[in-house]
Amino acid sequence: MKRRDYMKLSAAMPACAISAAASAAATGENPKGGSASFSLDIPVKYDTDVFVAGGGPAGAAAAVAAAESGADVYLAENLSCFGGMGTSALVPVFMQMTDGINFLAAGFGSRVKKMLDSEKSFSGGAHDIEALKRVYDGLAEKSGAKFSFCTKVIGAKASGGKIDYAVCSGLGGIFAAKAKVFIDATGNGDLAYMAGAEYEKGGKNGGMMPGSLCSMWCSIDWKKWRANRPDMPQPQSFKVREAFEAGVFSFYDPHMTGILEIGDGLGGGNIGHAFGVDGTDEDSVTRALLHCRKSMREYKNYYNKYLPGFENAKVAATGSAMGIRETRRFVGDYVLNIDDYMKRAVFDDEIGRYAYPIDIHPSGFKGGELEKHRMEFDRLYKYAKGESYGIPYRILTPKGFSNLYVAGRCASMDRLVHGSLRVMPGCFIMGQAAGIGASIAAASKASVHEIDTRELQKKLIKFGAYLPNFKA
């Protein structure tokens, strides 16, 4: 867009204009071809207590919790609905919300579950994704939080360890969103990255879990499948080797989560991997999407030929967003680590507890990786019923910034714990705590590193959170 044209658009916005040097607009980490800079006068469209970047499980929980705690909230979501991976990327199911006895994702998670159970139109165990979208919409609207879809955070203006405003690109043009406190719930941590916060990415050698493009399938005879394999609702990977050797697959990927029953012949597929994808690089994600969409034909042939009940199965849709499991983890006041996980740690500043095993999808299958993953997932890191680990508040507060939270997949944890806490119920727990924490920091003008965590815990309990170690 020419600057002249943009100025016409921005003039229509009833807000004062500020000048944003938008040099932080690019999120790529390896610029090719030097650099360029530009600056624009942009309107301040929002000036709120709390700004939330991203409306996935963490961001939706954060916005609702902050608004219900009395904060004036604005959330910017890049895609067309709340829910992140669980809606736009068609991830078909929530991992465990409980430890087998206690409901750990209590608060936002229990509301989502209750509303989804009453709203869904299908009988299977996997998500009715349309219902899930409505559930998030309803919770956000009722909370009073302001939000817009189709709005991407493309820059951050920060100085002296404080974010002044986020630069957003909406359908009507580029604008600034000012706030007292910012919450980054973008999964990749785009806002924190653009503000200059410290982070780690993947393993020691930079390797990250593969991504997957989830899919929706129709014309499945679930009755026939269950009658043939009552022991195996999913995964359906037991004949992958045979199919690979018969030439049905052009690649060998034995780690398949499978297609889960939504109902009425429908299934939600979490199948196939894009190895080596970097979710913070659009070229890499583009290649991954192309690969995964092509490979759906091979999966269709596999299911049709080898699996009873799937003879007529067809791919009805693939996710509009690439499924990304792992990118940046921002370094906070505390890094939740594997020792904490192993000892089922309890923290004074606990904001919740969680229990899903460590689930790190291998980044390739050269020898023994799948067996190692299964051994870790099923035995080494598996908790008994009623066991869980504590999540301290300090993993939400990145070092060096007084008014920034990171919640969800990008919070401060080591790679192993990330393999557990990254799933959606874990993100609900972190999101609601960041939201209430932000409302406290905004009201008291305190740094996020210094808020009264006992006040936060009391407010979390009022919101419905599970905090068994809090002593009144």
| Closest to 244 in 3D by CA, of 299, 307, 311 | 299
Asked whether the beta carbons of 333 and 411 are under 8 A apart, the reply is no
Binding-residue total with ligand FAD (CB under 6 A): 40
Local structure of residue 255 (DSSP, 8 states): -
Query: Which residues 345-404 are close enough to bind ligand FAD by CB under 6 A?
Result: none
Here the tokens at position 160 are 């002296």
Nearer to ligand FAD, 34 or 67 (CB): 67
> Considering only residues 42, 49, 56, 403, which one is a binding residue for ligand FAD as defined by CB under 6 A?
56
Residues 57-96 that bind ligand FAD (CB under 6 A): 57-59, 76-79, 84-86, 88, 91, 93-95
- Tell me the C-alpha distance between 363 and 111, whole Å: 35
CA–CA dist 262, 434 (Å, integer): 32
Query: Among 42-50, 117-125, 183-191, 247-255, which window interacts with ligand FAD (CB under 6 A)?
Result: 183-191
Q: How far is the CB of 396 from ligand FAD (least distance, A)?
A: 12
- Secondary structure (DSSP) of 71-93: --EEEE-SSSSS-GGGTTT----
Instruction: Return the residues of window 3-22 that contact ligand FAD according to CB under 6 A.
Output: none
Q: Give me the least distance between CB of 462 and ligand FAD, in Å please.
A: 23
Nearer to ligand FAD, 76 or 313 (CB): 76
Compare residues 267 and 323 and give the one whose CB is closer to ligand FAD: 323
Interface with ligand FAD, residue 152, by CB under 6 A: yes
* Contacting residue, 48, 69, 143, 186, with ligand FAD by CB under 6 A: 186
SS3 for 16? coil
Q: Is position 53 an interface residue for ligand FAD (rule: CB under 6 A)?
A: yes
- Find the Cα–Cα–Cα–Cα dihedral 249, 251, 256, 260, rounded to 10°: -40
In the list 126, 177, 185, 313, the residue contacting ligand FAD (rule: CB under 6 A) is: 185
User: Taking contact as CB under 6 A, which single stretch among the options 127-135, 208-216, 298-306, 451-459 is the one that binds ligand FAD?
Assistant: 208-216
Short-list 418, 454, 50, CA closest to 209? 418
DSSP, collapsed to helix, strand or coil, labels residue 263 as: strand
Least Å distance, CB 270 to ligand FAD, is 5
Residue 428 found at the interface with ligand FAD (CB under 6 A): no
Q: How many CB atoms lie within 10 A of CB 136?
A: 28
Nearest to 225 by CA among 308, 325, 128, 319: 308
Whether the CA torsion 435, 440, 443, 447 is positive or negative: it is negative
* Rounded least distance, CB 444 to ligand FAD, Å: 26
Decide: is 187 part of the binding site for ligand FAD (CB under 6 A). yes
Q: Tell me how crowded residue 373 is: count the other CB atoms within 10 A of its CB.
A: 18
CA distances from 392 to 61, 353, 413, 456 (A): 17, 9, 10, 12
Q: How far is the CB of 472 from ligand FAD (least distance, A)?
A: 31
> Which residue from 43, 137, 7, 31 is spatially nearest to 83, judged by alpha carbons?
137
Classified as helix, coil or strand, 30 is coil
Task: With contacts defined by CB under 6 A, name the span among 211-219, 227-235, 244-252, 341-349 that binds ligand FAD.
Answer: 211-219
Question: 266 - beta bridge partners?
Answer: 263
Which of residues 102 and 348 has its CB atom nearest to ligand FAD in the complex? 102
**Residues numbered 319-348 forming contacts with ligand FAD, rule: CB under 6 A:** 323-325
Piece in contact with ligand FAD (CB under 6 A), picked from 15-23, 318-326, 337-345, 376-384 = 318-326
- The footprint of ligand FAD on residues 94-113 (CB under 6 A) is 94-95
**Beta strands 39-53; 173-184: pairing state:** parallel
C-alpha–C-alpha distance, residues 326 and 415, integer Å: 9
Q: Which of 270, 280, 412, 420 binds ligand FAD (CB under 6 A)?
A: 270
Which residues sit opposite 179 in a β-bridge? 48
Report the nearest approach of ligand FAD to the CB of residue 424 (Å).
Answer: 3
Using CB under 6 A, list all residues that contact ligand FAD.
53-59, 76-79, 84-86, 88, 91, 93-95, 152-153, 185-188, 190, 211-212, 214, 270, 323-325, 408-409, 422-425, 427
